[in-house]
Chain A
Amino acid sequence: MGVLERFRITRFALWIQRVFGKRHARIGIYGPPNVGKTTLANRMLMDWAGETIGTVSEIPHETRRAKWKSNVKIENGSSSLVIDIVDTPGIATKVDYKEFIEQYGLDPDEAKRRAKEATEGVIEAIRWLESIDGVVLVMDSTENPFTQVNVTILGNLEARNLPVIIAANKIDLEKSSPATLKSAFPQHPVVPISALTGYNLDNLYTTMVKHFGKRRRKRK
């Protein structure tokens, strides 16, 4: 194990302990469709467990059932802890099967099936909010962040007092503007990342430690 890898694992383990104060926490990866939730979940799991959790696609609603990896062991020096990572379906207020046909060339039956499963996935993702301890909320930094879905997800997390980190994804794209996300949600930490390339993932974990460590001290 390299020095950098050992550093990342240790910092992440510390973050988990600071945030949750326990040795087993469930972390939800949330966001609208097609923002890179599964790409990030895969990247995180590759870092901590050496495997992936789901397939990715340019077609929205590729993840239509929540998937999780339980008992991911995170080593922290001589001790260790265990987390569950939950990759949730994208949350949307509408699902139109015709978009799958017209924009992505699916046949009508497949498009209808995908749309039906997507609606069930949205319901499931919202239900999972009851069962998680913290959230990495993924947003597409090339898009306008002021969508109702983003606002609704954040509002729910705040109402439930769940700790949240906003991952401003897709900064490898020219149009990305993570600064817009930072100005849109100044009350939450926003970390620009590229889940696709892995760029700045180290900074994501480091920011988690700083942010949640501060929150915990405030509560004392």
Chain B
Amino acid sequence: MKKEKGVSVTLISRKKLESFSTDEKIDYIIKEVSKGKILVLENGLTPVEQSALIQQTMAKIDHDTFIGIEMEGYADVENDGNMLRKILNKIFGVIKKPRMTVIGPANLLKTVYKDNNVIQTMIITGKGAK
């Protein structure tokens, strides 16, 4: 099939993400993003996974072909300042769950705006997936 020019945006389901180990997940993300693809994860990465991804991204940076990643996700539910929720979480030990996250190559994906409820990004055309 002839390849079309454009930017590839891949939505990854929670089920697929949960089938990966942490290492597999990070390897998959790095591999896809370094090829110029943008990923939207239904279930984002935990903070520890995020920092591992940042470390591996730094190790993979190549001045001319890969300058790193743009990554944005919603904050954990507990971070909304709701005192009742925080108390319930303390009592029942609710585990923080990562939320929807968009990840792409930094030369292609730019964050325009972000707050607790909105993530607005821009795709820089002309440098998409090969």
Query: How far apart are the CA atoms of A119 and B106 in the complex, in Å?
Result: 14
Of residues 57 through 101 on chain B, the ones whose CB sits less than 8 Å from some CB of chain A are: 57-59, 61, 63, 67-73, 75-76, 78-79, 81, 86, 96
Of residues 89 through 119 on chain B, the ones whose CB sits less than 8 Å from some CB of chain A are: 96, 106-107, 111, 113-116
Tell me whether B55 is interfacial, beta carbon within 8 Å: yes
Indicate if the CB atoms of B114 and A146 lie closer than 8 Å: yes
Chain A residues lying within 8 Å of B71, measured Cβ to Cβ, are: 93, 148
Interface residues on A, range: 20 to 34
Q: Give 1 or 0 for each of A114-132: 1 = CB within 8 Å of chain B CB.
A: 0110011011001101000
Query: Closest residue of chain B to A149, judged by CB?
Result: B54
Query: How far apart are the CA atoms of A185 and B78 in the complex, in Å?
Result: 10
Size of the chain B interface, CB-CB below 8 angstroms: 33
Tell me whether B125 is interfacial, beta carbon within 8 Å: no
Indicate if the CB atoms of A119 and B47 lie closer than 8 Å: no
Query: How far apart are the CA atoms of A23 and B6 in the complex, in Å?
Result: 59
Distance in angstroms from B73 CB to nearest chain A CB is 7
- The count of A-to-B residue pairs whose CB atoms sit within 8 angstroms is 90
Query: Closest residue of chain B to A108, judged by CB?
Result: B63
Indicate if the CB atoms of A144 and B114 lie closer than 8 Å: yes
Query: Closest residue of chain A to B79, judged by CB?
Result: A187
Indicate if the CB atoms of A95 and B50 lie closer than 8 Å: no
Indicate if the CB atoms of B58 and A123 lie closer than 8 Å: yes
Distance in angstroms from B114 CB to nearest chain A CB is 4
Contacts A151-B47, A155-B50, A184-B116 known; 12 new A-B pairs at CB < 8 A = A92-B54, A93-B54, A93-B71, A94-B106, A112-B63, A115-B63, A119-B59, A144-B113, A144-B114, A155-B76, A156-B48, A186-B81
